[in-house]
Amino acid sequence: MLRRLAAALVGLAVVLVAALYAAPASAAPVTRVLVFSKTAGFRHSSIPNGIAAIQQLGSQNGFTVTATEDANQFTTANLAQYQVVVFLSTTGDVLNATQQTAFQSYIASGKGYVGVHAAADTEYDWAWYGGLVGAYFQSHPAIQQATLRVEDTTNPASAHLPANWTRSDEWYNYRTNPRPNVRVLVRLDEATYSGGSMGDHPITWCQNYGGGRSFYTGLGHTEASYTESNFTRMLLGGIQWAGGAVTATCTPGTTPPVTGTAVRALANNRFVTAGSGNLIANATAASTTAQRFDVIDLGGGNVALRSKANGMYVCAENAGANPLIANRAAVGGWETFARVNNSDGTVSFRAQANGRYVVAENAGAAALIANRTAIGPWEKFALS
């Protein structure tokens, strides 16, 4: 009897140890994914391509894909069979109140959401969804090539990407910067294309939200996106993380390194600051985007200055009669400056609007203005 009891206790101990060291349920592979692509606004022609690409990912990685535009699929019972729901370029108001409640409960149960591109152009009146996606769409320029900077090389959605990833897409600007609440995986470099308005411009991110997991990418407008291996591998990583099959750190990260060129006035040794008001040489350090600019070569010795703080071009306002301000979305005559390289290593800027040099007015105590006919100490700047 004692031997039997001892054997039973040993057996129980083995079971308990096995339970302690068994893979957690969250490490189970993704087996079922729902792709939802209902549109109540603009409809992307790439939706069929996206569905086909996710279905192919499923066939290659062991999960089945159900594609639907029927919002009636959003019931507690039906959603329970899926580990991940993908909102594929949905637009507008796509769920009613009952369906919203079911989806919110689904996420609260520990399940996952993946938003692609126009998923951020969806459900503007549902604040919980706005938090889930991370940020709402605001605007976009024309489709064009841009360079993306990969911030997180450990996440399964971004680990395979090159540090600097150049591709074409429709680049969304968002109403708010999601960085304080999410882990940014990839950001856009607004110096590499026209029409960015955010300065710090996250474009792909993840977060733990409402009891579940949320992954979003602003990429995926074009049909060609879904034939790019870097992009589809990113989608796969997002699906697997959102579904709990792989782990990653998705708590909010740190602020990205400040990039761009600092402009320092020789007159007072202060850095030029741009923001919502006039440019002024008043900062003792160039530690934020407010003191950083993209110096864009326009050819012929001309440059444009684009503020990293708001993505807007510096303008010799009122043909140079008013102080400089970073408030223009495009480059024209008033946003064009001749760059003059001085013999002492400094530079001066001559506004093409009026042929006058930019001065750190009143030794930097007043706003910069293009009103000087010659170069002196107050018209000299150092770039770093």
> What tens digit of pLDDT does each residue of 225-241 get?
999 999 999 999 999 99
At the fourth CATH level, the homologous superfamily of domain 25-242 is: Class I glutamine amidotransferase (GATase) domain (3.40.50.880)
> What tens digit of pLDDT does each residue of 55-71 get?
999 999 999 999 999 99
Assigned token pair, 175: 């109403």
The model's confidence at residue 276, banded by pLDDT at 50, 70 and 90, is: low
Question: Class for domain 263-383, per CATH?
Answer: mainly beta
> What tens digit of pLDDT does each residue of 341-366 get?
999 999 999 999 999 999 998 888 89
The answer, yes or no, to whether residue 74 has pLDDT greater than 60, is: yes
pLDDT for the residue numbered 190:
84
94 vs 1, more confident: 94
**In the chain, where the domains are located:** 25-242, 263-383
User: pTM of the predicted model, to two decimals?
Assistant: 0.68
